[in-house]
Every structure is written in C-alpha cells, then in structure tokens.
Chain A
Amino acid sequence: MTASDRLTIAVPRGALFGGTLDLLDRLGVDTAEVRANDRKLLFADAGIVTMRPSDVPTYVEHGSADIGITGKDVLLEQAQRKVYELVDLGYGRCTMVVAAREGGDPIGDALRRLGRVRIATKYPRVAGQHFADTGRQAEIVEVKGSVELAPLTGLVDGIVDLTATGTTLAENQLRIVEEIEVCTARLIANPVAHKLKAERIDRLVERIRT
C-alpha cells in the first residue's frame, strides 16, 4: 500500500488507456498531464502510474499502487494474484475466443486423429483451463507476438486469443469456433489498501457506480 493518504492509481496504457482516462476525468482526477505526456510513466500530482495492462495486477498486489484498472483477460490469466476485483467498468469489451483456420475443422480433426490439439496463445492459463474444463487434451504453445500467425504456419491447430471485432482474425483467414468469456475493464484494489483506505476507495466506487 502506498504511504500517502491519497490513492495511487495504476492506469493501463494500450487499448484501455483512453477509456480509463475518460473515467478518471469523470471522477475529478486531473488527467491533462497524463494525456500530454506519452513517455512519462509516473504522475505524482495526479496520483497516477501508467504501465502495460498485464503489469497492473503486479503493482496493485504489491501495494505500489492502491487501486488499478485492467482487463478481465489479464485477471483471468493471473488468477493467483492477491488483488480484490471491485467493479466491472464496462468499457474495453472484448471476447476471449478459440479460433481456427477457415474451412474444415482443424481442432476437431486433431482431437479425433491425434488425441490432442495444439493451441497457441498469449493466455496459457486461460487456454489450458478452458480445454481441461471441456475435457479435451491440449498442448499449449505460448507465443508473445501475433498469435494469428501460428495456425497459418502449421505450428498449431488453433489459437486462444482476445478479440474485439474479429477483424484481425478474419484478415488472417481465421474464424471463431468457441467463445470462452466476455472481458471488460475492471477496477482492482490492493487488499491492505482496501481496509486502510476504505473510505477513499468506497467513495470512488460509489461515484463510478452512479
């Protein structure tokens, strides 16, 4: 937990950045400096630290930020983090999906003939859990860059990825075969800050909900 009485907020750069700054404006946090500075990471006056979305649970769990905003996809993948999930913020809506090459049924074929399916993803935990929950044996291949490439080159039979509009998938001749979960932006809190800065956090949550 941060030492000052004020709340330090972890703000995700990337797809959720704009929506998050709009939300903070609505809550009366001055984001002008954050909007004007693309490279700066720490904004002490506004009580804002910016980072990639997947780092937000790390900073909040440790207490380097009291609260933070990140996608449900990140929280699903980092389920072991001890952070409290307080509010579904509604924006940044995406869907975690299983996708495979258009035409035919590469995933079904692999399961039928080889007894297991190879899946590329940036979300190994979510993907592994999804296939385990549905009783299918899967070999999960973790990739860091564009997941869409993996099935096109024959590395895997399908992918698990987050999609907003499906455009990138379609452009790479991939189609959605299963939807795993709808993901939106979430407000999370450090467990200690949630108790010791209860009033401030409750006031913020109250204003987000109204």
Chain B
Amino acid sequence: MTLKHVFLAGLVTLAAVTLTSAGPGSGTISGKITYEGTPAKQKPIDMSKEPSCASQHPTPITTESVVTGPGNTLANVVVYISAGAPDEAAPSTSANFDQKGCQYVPHTLAFQVGQELKISNDDQTSHNIHPLAKINREWNKSQPPGTPPITDKYDKAEMIPVKCNIHPWMHGTFAVLKNSHYSVSGADGGFKLPNLPPGKYTVTAYHESYGEMTQDVVISGSETKTISFVFKAKPY
C-alpha cells in the first residue's frame, strides 16, 4: 500500500517537473539581418535550354546566392539557437522542398534532425536532387516529372548545399538543426525566435555565401530581446 503511494507521488512529481521544464517559455528573440558593403551582383539565368521552365518566368530571374531587400536587408539567413536549448525530438510534420520553374522553393529550408524531408517536382522536366552532405550521407536521386515525392531524414545537424546537376543554376540549402528554435529571414531581413524559456542562449545566423555569426543573449521571464546581425557583403 505504502509502496503504491510512493509510486503515485513519484509519478505526480515527475509529471510536474516535466511540465515546467519542457513547457514552452514566453521569451522571444527577434531582430533584423542586414549587410554592409556591396553584395555580389546576381546573374540572370539563361533557361532557354529548358523551355518548360523558361515559360514560367515572364521576366527572367537571377541567381539567388545573395537575396536582399530595401534598406540593405538580407534574406535566406537561418537564425537558430546553437547553444543553450536542449536537443528536441523531430516534429511529425514534414519539411517541404519544391522544384518549381527550375527553382528551389524555398531556396533555404530549415528543419530538424530526424524530421521528414519531402522533395517534390512540380516541373515538366527531370531534376536530380543532390544534397552535398559532408557529415550526413551524400546521395543523389533522379526525379522525373510526375513521380512521387522523395522523402529522407538526416541524423546529424549540418548546413547542406543542394544542387541539381542537370540545371546548374539550381542551388539551395538544407539547414538541419537540433531544436525547433529557428527562423529563416525573408526579404525584409526579419526573424523571430518565440517560446524561449528563461536562460542564456547562443544565437547563430548562417548565410550560404557569407558564413555564420553568433551572439549570446540572456532571456529572463517573458521579455522580448531585439538583436541584429550585420553581415559583411563581398562583391565577388
């Protein structure tokens, strides 16, 4: 009888501890990514050899190694908590990566270790998906039009460049991260990492052409801390 009581009490304590420690916090880190200097001029893409894609772009598009917005803002920057937050189990939702008009949508896709990655081909042409992983497994698969999505998972955190060898202008990035506290900046350069419990965090910002920058941030209570990253743009 007493044993049962102790066991029950233990269970209740365990549940309480789990709820308080694993429950989402209410702190937020937000801010803006900008650049100084002159970013590389993006080159127009010649899709004339792929008419089914060229016809989807009435105005010719350019490469996307650096995408900027008005006021020197920088898009496609992955902002994430690199230290201070525990590793998390992958969510059950899949991270979707589309090939549309011979472009990657989104150009930069962030998702978690172990999370399902779903790659679709919306084009009327064959693509090959070639994520150039160094820490994870490097694979390379063909995906002709009308074939089902390719799914995969990555075991380790890594920034993986992705390319299509058939269409040399197609480049993208898979950001495989250890927890759910991440954000990819849009054209306005903005990012937001909500639901942070109080604690000391290292925030890392990663850009495929300009590398990474880090900042330490302390969150206490439900405050919102605003930080900014300024990347040094190189014209080449």
- The answer to whether A and B interact is no
- Residue numbers of B with Cβ under 8 A of A are none
| A→B interface (CB under 8 Å) | none
